[in-house]
């Protein structure tokens, strides 16, 4: 099998090869005629897919089963909290309060949704650990040894929650996964075993939604990169109502904070030498 062209060409030759053309295997649009999506006619061949199935197919080149698509969509639905106090919803809502466009607000909220502590990075790091741990256990390692070695090196994401250690979404997703026959995958089974190991020392480290999400998607055969792309829309349904409500209120009232509510312990107010007082500047203007 020949090496990929980008490994053979370099520098000006590589740029010249790509100049003036798009080399693609994912698809192309032919206005007035048709659109190709990963080798299929989008409208004729793929028009009956659920949107989440099409989205996943575009990312992976593989088709989700109807059961898998239903479970992925349920994971998105069950984390759609219309609470503007949440870190990413707050960004979207403040954009609405500032009368920015809805698109900009939601895109900004999506960008911060990849936060390490609460968001997408935590899910990706958990999936990386679960994949590594499963390989180790299948090779004969003791899971407890794998877990404690990881905690000595770094934090295990996907377990524990800062406000309440029990994640209210997990029972609903697990019930659906069981009904769909998607509850016995090796990564998900391992995640529950990891939880038991952690709970033997730390009573608050129950599996959280990131851990469940990572395990289920890993059992669907996806990579960490594919998970990152697949989970992008996960919070949008909760952001949109926050933007709508913030835009319906007067501007700048969302999370208004009076100066008296700020506990300040820094340097005292001081006059700048040579600076003109604000009142004089205003009069001069």
Q: Residue 193: inside a domain, yes or no?
A: yes
How many domains does the chain fold into? 2
Q: Residue 74: inside a domain, yes or no?
A: yes
Same domain? For 50 and 171 the reply is no
pLDDT score for 152:
96
**Domain end (from 63, 86, 117):** 63
Same domain? For 221 and 94 the reply is yes
Q: Residue 19: inside a domain, yes or no?
A: no
pTM of the predicted structure, to 2 decimals? 0.84
pLDDT score for 213:
97
Same domain? For 40 and 141 the reply is no
Q: Residue 191: inside a domain, yes or no?
A: yes
Same domain? For 167 and 226 the reply is yes
Same domain? For 50 and 187 the reply is no
CA dist., res. 189 & res. 194, Å (int): 9
Same domain? For 77 and 200 the reply is yes
Q: Which domain holds residue 98?
A: 64-252
**What angle do the packed helices 170-180 and 209-219 form, to 10 degrees?**
20
pLDDT score for 279:
53
Q: Which tokens is 110 given? A: 């999506």
Same domain? For 44 and 76 the reply is no
Q: Residue 16: inside a domain, yes or no?
A: no
pLDDT score for 16:
87
Q: Residue 274: inside a domain, yes or no?
A: no
**What angle do the packed helices 66-77 and 51-60 form, to 10 degrees?**
100
Q: Residue 6: inside a domain, yes or no?
A: no
Same domain? For 57 and 193 the reply is no
Same domain? For 116 and 45 the reply is no
- Contacts of residues 254-258 at CB distance under 8 Å and 24 or more positions apart, as own/partner, are 254/84, 254/93, 254/94, 254/96, 254/97, 255/84, 255/90, 255/94
pLDDT score for 5:
59
Q: Residue 234: inside a domain, yes or no?
A: yes
**pLDDT, block means (10 residues), the chain with 285 residues:** 63 86 91 96 96 97 96 96 95 96 95 89 96 98 98 94 88 98 97 98 94 97 96 95 96 91 88 63 47
Same domain? For 79 and 198 the reply is yes
Measure Cα distances from 230 to 123, 182, 214, 268 in Å: 12, 18, 11, 50
Query: Other C-beta atoms within 10 Å of 147: how many?
Result: 22
Same domain? For 182 and 97 the reply is yes
pLDDT score for 214:
97
pLDDT score for 281:
46
Same domain? For 47 and 170 the reply is no
């Amino acid at each position: 099998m020949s090496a990929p062209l980008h490994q053979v060409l370099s520098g000006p030759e590589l740029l010249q090869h790509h100049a003036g053309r798009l080399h693609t295997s994912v698809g192309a649009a032919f206005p007035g005629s048709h659109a190709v999506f990963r080798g299929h006619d989008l409208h004729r061949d793929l028009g009956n897919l659920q949107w989440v199935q099409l989205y996943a197919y575009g990312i992976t080149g593989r088709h989700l089963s109807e059961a898998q698509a239903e479970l992925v969509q349920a994971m998105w639905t069950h984390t759609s909290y219309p609470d503007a106090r949440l870190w990413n919803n707050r960004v979207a809502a403040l954009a609405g309060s500032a009368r920015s466009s809805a698109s900009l607000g939601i895109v900004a909220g999506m960008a911060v949704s990849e936060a390490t502590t609460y968001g997408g990075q935590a899910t990706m790091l958990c999936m990386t650990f679960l994949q590594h741990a499963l390989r180790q256990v299948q090779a004969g390692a003791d899971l407890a040894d794998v877990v404690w070695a990881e905690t000595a090196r770094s934090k295990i994401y996907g377990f524990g929650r800062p406000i309440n250690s029990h994640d209210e979404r997990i029972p609903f997703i697990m019930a659906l996964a069981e009904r769909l026959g998607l509850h016995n995958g090796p990564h998900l089974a391992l995640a529950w075993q990891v939880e038991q190991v952690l709970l033997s020392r730390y009573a608050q480290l129950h599996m959280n939604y990131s851990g469940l999400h990572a395990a289920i998607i890993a059992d669907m055969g996806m990579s960490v990169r594919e998970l990152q792309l697949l989970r992008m829309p996960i919070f949008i349904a909760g952001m949109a109502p926050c933007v709508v409500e913030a835009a319906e209120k007067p501007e700048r009232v969302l999370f208004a904070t009076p100066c008296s509510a700020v506990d300040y312990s820094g340097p005292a107010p001081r006059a700048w030498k040579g600076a003109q007082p604000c009142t004089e500047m205003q009069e001069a203007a």
